[in-house]
Homo-oligomer: A and B are copies of this chain.
């Protein structure tokens, strides 16, 4: 498809997806929108006080969160029924159940839903103008295998709560407003995190994503699982076909900074850089009882030295290095493993630090595999036979800086919501974790809102965010989206510039 043809498709799609409010008023059944009602609140005509009076319903939000957690319930950690973790891997049967709920709920709220070729679900509520893309709130419903109830889920359910508040109060936005559920954000089942927003942004080829296999020992691909659960959409997964006016994402911090500083809202200005690698070490399978230490090519001993060394490099470079997956072959107590494969996740605030770490890893891991010494790593060891090492870079996410207009909208929303002591409760911060907002920020103005989670623990069943903090975050999300809707006219010239071209 040539570029002009693609853009024509996009324009046609936009017309199909974002009908006028009037058209919806005709189409939506009376039980959702009363036939006698009129659209009373237009965001452009609201005073700041009127805007601030729109409030999320904390109880209803928590009900939605816990309702969705019936699908893929994980490890129990407390006595209450809601005190369990989550284990809802992307494109599993339980993920399908959560997706079905998302589609039904947003459609009942008057949204049009579109499923793209990566299974991303875009639910759009019409605005007064039909010629411009919606302002989205978005996150993800998939979880880690031993994850919690808030990572991703809070952002999606807060987006739905936003739609409910707007429906309850007959709010009429200038532009359409949407909620998006991104596929496989975690990268836990299919080892490429944020892969589906990456395809949407044009950063990851669709074929690469579709062919990505689930982690050991499964063999399914993303394409086969999308098809199996009925979420392989016909619409291309592309920012050109499904454009966004902006993307706001509410998320738990997943770190301890807000809690330690006694802050309530993190205004996220960007995301740290990171790279993911797969390291493969090849030695030789031999018998543990009959092979002396110097006749071994022990792939696990070499991998252990590498993992320890990556931690030392991270310490020396003020970076992070982590190994979350390790598989070995053949896996028998009395056989020295001949092959080990492990993941390596390198992060730092600056791209240059991550690059430097990657270079050091490549150089030093070869040295370790060859059996040579690095800062006394072989002290007290028996020199064995050399192993081979191959290092594959699976994923590269450069440092991200969010759009100032979105950051401003979140700041204003947070100040308006918290009131007089806002400056004590708000903190500007950089996200340590990647999020779908990293990819959306390449194609539309984006920012994020963080709320504290207990002890900074995440990717753990005990992950916990207080009810009032969930609601406060959802309130700031609602206010940010509505404020941004009002700002779009004033500032649209900016967005016509690179890189967004809206």
Contact = CB atoms under 8 A, between A and B. Distances in A.
Interface string A212-247: 000101000000000000000000000000000000
A316 B255 CA distance: 42
A324 B433 contact: no
B286 A335 contact: no
A287 interface: yes
Interface string A305-319: 101100110111000
A330 interface: yes
A376 B320 CA distance: 21
A393 to B, nearest CB: 13
Contact of A333 (B276, B289, B314, B375): B276
B311 A458 contact: no
A216 to B, nearest CB: 8
Interface stretch (A23-31, A91-99, A290-298): A290-298
Interface in A307-345: 307-308, 311-312, 314-316, 320, 322-326, 328-338, 343, 345
Given A285-B146, A285-B459, A459-B287, A191 B325 contact: no
A106 to B, nearest CB: 28
A441 interface: no
A312 B188 contact: no
A314 B316 CA distance: 30
Given A290-B253, A334-B187, A298 B322 contact: yes
Contacts of A305: 304, 308
Contacts of A379: 312, 375-376
Interface string A119-141: 00000000000000000000000
B293 A320 contact: yes
A432 interface: yes
For this complex, into which size category does the number of interface residues on chain A fall? 35 or more
A303 B305 CA distance: 11
Nearest to A85: B285
Contacts of A334: 186-188, 193, 322, 324, 345, 433-434, 459
A459 B333 CA distance: 11
A269 interface: no
A382 B332 contact: no
A43 interface: no
A60 B174 CA distance: 88
Given A146-B338, A381-B312, A432-B289, A187 B459 contact: no
A338 B461 CA distance: 11
A308 B304 contact: yes
A288 B146 contact: no
Contacts of A291: 254-255, 320, 432, 456
Q: State the oligomeric state as a number of copies.
A: 2
A343 B347 contact: no
A300 interface: yes
A308 B303 CA distance: 10
A145 B290 contact: no
Given A290-B254, A328-B326, A433-B289, A338 B304 contact: no
A84 interface: no
Contact of A293 (B284, B287, B315, B458): B315
Nearest to A380: B312
A183 interface: no
Given A290-B432, A293-B311, A343 B338 contact: no
A347 B146 contact: no
A274 interface: yes
Contacts of A343: 333
Contacts of A274: 289
Given A304-B307, A381-B311, A288 B320 contact: yes
A284 B457 contact: yes
Contacts of A312: 379-381
28 contacts: A144-B330, A145-B329, A146-B338, A187-B332, A187-B333, A188-B332, A188-B334, A215-B332, A256-B295, A284-B457, A286-B460, A287-B432, A287-B433, A288-B345, A289-B320, A289-B431, A289-B433, A290-B431, A291-B432, A293-B311, A298-B322, A300-B307, A325-B328, A325-B331, A333-B345, A334-B345, A375-B380, A376-B379
Interface of A: 144-146, 186-188, 191, 193, 215, 217, 253-256, 272, 274, 276, 284-293, 295, 298, 300-301, 303-305, 307-308, 311-312, 314-316, 320, 322-326, 328-338, 343, 345, 347, 375-376, 379-382, 431-434, 456-461
Which are the 9 A-B pairs with shortest beta-carbon distances?
A: A255-B290, A290-B432, A289-B433, A288-B322, A304-B304, A146-B330, A254-B290, A312-B380, A289-B432
